[in-house]
Amino acid sequence: MAREWECENPLRRQAWSAAINATLRVLEGKWKIVIINELMAAKGRPLRFSELEKLIPDVTQKMLIQQLKGLQQDDIVQRTVYPEVPPRVEYALTALGHALGPAMTALIDWAELRHQHEAKEIKLSSVSDNELLER
């Protein structure tokens, strides 16, 4: 969806800002992006809770449960419980969750660009420091 960023209508620009803020609130939390990333990498295959725990080793069980519940409430993740013994629970992205794909790609691209920019800044800074030392 193309946006006309030179939009003359300040109300439309405010609406865009509000929409972005609302989206960021849905995704806030240290582990939500990581969870979404792992579910996207599964390419449509649901993941069991234990698989997510293994894929995200630094997250606590309590935090993983909380983050998954939040993503469920926002209709990003679907939880399916199978009536088996022991119970089997699987998580998958909803259509709304899959729709985050282009935004995630754009964020990854931006993060790489930012990393390159910071690397150049560090290099320039060290060159300046070396010049000062030589004087």
Tell me which residue range forms the domain holding 130.
Answer: 100-135
Query: Is 86 inside any structural domain?
Result: yes
Q: Are 74 and 107 part of one and the same domain? A: no
Q: Are 67 and 111 part of one and the same domain? A: no
Q: Tens of pLDDT along 12-34?
A: 889 989 999 999 999 999 999 99
- pLDDT confidence of residue 135: 54
Q: Which of 82, 81, 100, 106 is nearest to 32 (CA)?
A: 100
Q: Are 73 and 15 part of one and the same domain? A: yes
| 109 neighbors 125 (Cβ within 8 angstroms) | no
- pLDDT confidence of residue 121: 81
48 vs 44: CA distance, rounded Å: 13
| 66 neighbors 123 (Cβ within 8 angstroms) | no
Q: Are 69 and 84 part of one and the same domain? A: yes
Residue 132 — very low, low, confident or very high, per pLDDT cuts 50/70/90? Answer: low
The tally of domains found in the chain comes to 2
Q: Are 59 and 116 part of one and the same domain? A: no
Q: Are 62 and 115 part of one and the same domain? A: no
- Tell me the residue type at 88: R
Q: Tens of pLDDT along 90-131?
A: 999 999 999 999 999 999 999 999 999 888 887 777 665 555
Q: Are 48 and 70 part of one and the same domain? A: yes
Strands (E), 6-48: 47-48
